[in-house]
Chain A
Amino acid sequence: GAGVSQSPRYKVAKRGQDVALRCDPISGHVSLFWYQQALGQGPEFLTYFQNEAQLDKSGLPSDRFFAERPEGSVSTLKIQRTQQEDSAVYLCASSLGTSYRDHSNQPQHFGDGTRLSIL
């Protein structure tokens, strides 16, 4: 079946430009997560949506990062005025369950990510 789809797969931008990264979750999945993965590291949590509600954005590194999921399906992660330290792979994941705070213990399924390079 269809998995999580992310686009573009690669994005190169000049410092100071804005970028938008798209995520199509698995159909019917309530929860959607964004992670940032630096080279040689594990993914780090950025933000969480339950349907269209952004319930947790504690991992967003600065106010230059903004995410939305207006209809509870597709999500977009936007980074404004990009900086070199924003270079990383941005991963999206979706889950059938709700928040882990609810002990809704369901695995997250990941897309292949967008590799962002800021020159």
Chain B
Amino acid sequence: GESVGLHLPTLSVQEGDNSIINCAYSNSASDYFIWYKQESGKGPQFIIDIRSNMDKRQGQRVTVLLNKTVKHLSLQIAATQPGDSAVYFCACPGGGADGLTFGKGTHLIIQP
């Protein structure tokens, strides 16, 4: 079945630095990937998505990179701010179900 995981449970960065959150997936047939941000007590908030026919996609202060060869994607956040503190999940369709499969999440902590 599909599995999606993140490399680190916690990432601590200095305010103003760039953050890189990594994610690995197992199903080479996966064709769509989404990054979500979840703040305490709230639901996952859509950040950015990427289709498998792309290697890179940029949003506002965020960039997602997709490496299909090694089945890896990353989320880069530029000039990290205190409001970026949250748990970040990568997700993709899979496992035969119609829903998304989520990884366990990376908790991004911003140091002042």
Contact = CB atoms under 8 A, between A and B. Distances in A.
Interface centre among A35, A40, A43, A112, by most B CB within 10 Å?
A43
A4 B98 contact: no
Contact of B104 (A41, A93, A105, A113): A41
Interface residues of B, number: 26
A103 B104 contact: no
A42 B99 contact: no
24 contacts: A4-B43, A33-B98, A33-B100, A35-B99, A41-B104, A42-B103, A44-B102, A45-B95, A45-B97, A45-B98, A46-B99, A48-B99, A56-B97, A58-B97, A59-B99, A105-B49, A105-B93, A107-B49, A108-B100, A109-B46, A110-B44, A111-B43, A112-B41, A113-B43
Closest 9 A-B residue pairs measured CB to CB? A45-B99, A42-B102, A100-B93, A110-B43, A105-B32, A48-B98, A56-B98, A112-B43, A107-B46
